[in-house]
Amino acid sequence: MPNSKPLPITMKAIVANEPGGPDCLKLIERPVPAPGASQILIKVAYAGVNRPDCIQRSGGYPPPPGASDIFGLEISGEVVQIGEDVKDLKLGDQVTALVSGGGYAQYCTADQGSVLPVPSGISMEQAAGLPETFFTVWHNVFQRAKLEQGETFLVHGGSSGIGTTAIQLAKAFGATVITTAGNEEKCQICRDLGADLAINYKDQDWVKELRSWTNKKGANVILDMVGGDYITKNYIAAANDGRIVSIAFLQGGLVEADFRRLMMKRLVHTGSTLRARSDSFKAKIADELREQVWPLLSKGMVKPLIYKTYPLEDAGKAHRLMESSQHSGKIMLRID
């Protein structure tokens, strides 16, 4: 059985020769990469645009050792080449994959453990918007924070890619969901996705609103990508024995906080990054997603929210939109 389809020698890809704004992203020609023994090569259909891409572009989030300098952490497409140790994947399979780099390109390699089939009823465009947010939410909310049925869950930035995913998954597994967003339109999107309470943080004191709505019990699990003074506010908003997970610090990570609340409420405050974790670690997350979440996608109970899709050469425009925070859901690149 052949392990490769006919392939070109070069491909189009997006890189940045030096840190900077969206204009520093350049469309270039690169050799088509060859997969390692445990990897596959994917002809990319779509790639997701994520906040870490923008941070990498500005110089704050370099690729881990061995990763491609081509941007992009999630893709969908067709398997066109298979490494000699790859099992359970074949040429022509329609897949989506979490990658440590290389996604903004016509071809991208992926470790077999981070590859999942495109769920039935999900388009290739939607499929490319799954890995980064679903791996992140599953690991942090369900594996680390151990959100359980009947608990109250708070996610900040509810209209973001992470937020829209977290709302839907938390509701699907029986939690009460509270979220914050920056305007009423975004709050309504969150409600439409299943949020029980959506708070406009620009017009309302979200801590006061949350505590009032929960009869001062607070949230059992909090997923925070804001940082800054939200760290202290999260301690006030958390329930006794609450679990707080930090996954980004858009308002900064150097803050003053009253840690007595951490002790008196018996809180657990943890955090994580995913990109630099091992292939075997990501494979375990993929296995749980395949078993527990992919059926929900196939049934239409959960789906990625796509805001706008750009052609590959307009990656800079996609980054500008991401940094404007005017979007709700995922921003995508179409790879022709």
SS3 (DSSP) at 191: helix
Pair (80, 112) in one structural domain: yes
Cα separation, 310 vs 78, in Å, equals 20
Which region, left, alpha or beta, applies to residue 266 given φ > 0 means left and ψ of -120 to 50 means alpha?
A: left
Cβ neighbours, 10 Å, residue 40? 25
Pair (120, 201) in one structural domain: no
Q: Which residue has the tokens 């059992």?
A: 220
Pair (151, 233) in one structural domain: yes
Tokens describing residue 143: 């594996």
Identify whether the C-beta of residue 125 lies closer than 8 Å to the C-beta of residue 332.
yes
Pair (259, 285) in one structural domain: no
Furthest-apart CA pair in the chain: how many Å?
64
Identify whether the C-beta of residue 94 lies closer than 8 Å to the C-beta of residue 75.
no
* CB contact burial 85-108 (16+ within 10 A = b; e otherwise): ebeebeeebebbbbbbbbbbbbbb
Pair (182, 66) in one structural domain: no
Q: Which residue has the tokens 């707080």?
A: 244
Identify whether the C-beta of residue 38 lies closer than 8 Å to the C-beta of residue 61.
no
Residue 4's pLDDT is what? 80
Q: What is the mean pLDDT of residues 170-174?
A: 98
| Any domain includes 142 | yes
Burial, 76: exposed, middle or buried (Cβ in 10 Å; 0-12, 13-18, 19+)? buried
Pair (217, 149) in one structural domain: yes
Pair (105, 221) in one structural domain: no
Pair (212, 301) in one structural domain: no
Residue 3's pLDDT is what? 81
| Any domain includes 4 | no
| Any domain includes 168 | yes
Q: Using one digit for the tens of pLDDT, what is the confidence trace for 2-38? A: 688 789 999 999 999 999 999 999 999 999 999 999 9
Burial, 288: exposed, middle or buried (Cβ in 10 Å; 0-12, 13-18, 19+)? middle
Domain that holds residue 228: 134-271
Q: Using one digit for the tens of pLDDT, what is the confidence trace for 202-235? A: 999 999 999 999 999 999 999 999 999 999 999 9
pLDDT surpasses 80 at 267: yes
| Any domain includes 39 | yes
| Any domain includes 308 | yes
How many residues does this entry show for the chain? 336
Average per-residue pLDDT for the chain: 96
Q: Using one digit for the tens of pLDDT, what is the confidence trace for 287-305? A: 999 999 999 999 999 999 9
Distances (CA, A) of 109 to 43, 104, 113, 181, 321: 9, 12, 12, 36, 27
Pair (231, 113) in one structural domain: no
Q: Which residues have CB under 8 Å from 259's CB, separation 6+?
A: 235
Kindly report which listed range (28-32, 62-66, 93-97, 151-155) carries the lowest average pLDDT score: 62-66
CATH value at residue 45: 3.90.180.10
Residue 227's pLDDT is what? 94
SS3 (DSSP) at 175: coil
Residue 336's pLDDT is what? 83
pTM more than 0.85: yes
| Any domain includes 60 | yes
Final residue of a domain: which of 237, 256, 271?
271
Pair (58, 116) in one structural domain: yes
Final residue of a domain: which of 228, 254, 271?
271
Cα separation, 97 vs 77, in Å, equals 9
CATH value at residue 180: 3.40.50.720
Pair (254, 152) in one structural domain: yes
In order, the DSSP letters of 4-70 are B----SEEEEEEESSS-SGGGEEEEEEEPPPP-TTEEEEEEEEEEE-HHHHHHHTTSSPPPTT--SS
| Any domain includes 242 | yes
Domains in the chain, number = 2
Distance of CA 87 to the CA centre of its chain: 26
Q: Where are the beta strands (DSSP E) in the chain?
A: 10-16, 25-31, 39-49, 74-82, 94-98, 107-111, 115-117, 152-155, 176-181, 197-200, 219-224, 238-246, 268-271, 306-311, 330-334
SS3 (DSSP) at 108: strand
Final residue of a domain: which of 271, 289, 304?
271
| Any domain includes 48 | yes
Pair (167, 222) in one structural domain: yes
Q: Using one digit for the tens of pLDDT, what is the confidence trace for 100-143? A: 999 999 999 999 999 999 999 999 999 999 999 999 999 999 99
Residue 28's pLDDT is what? 98
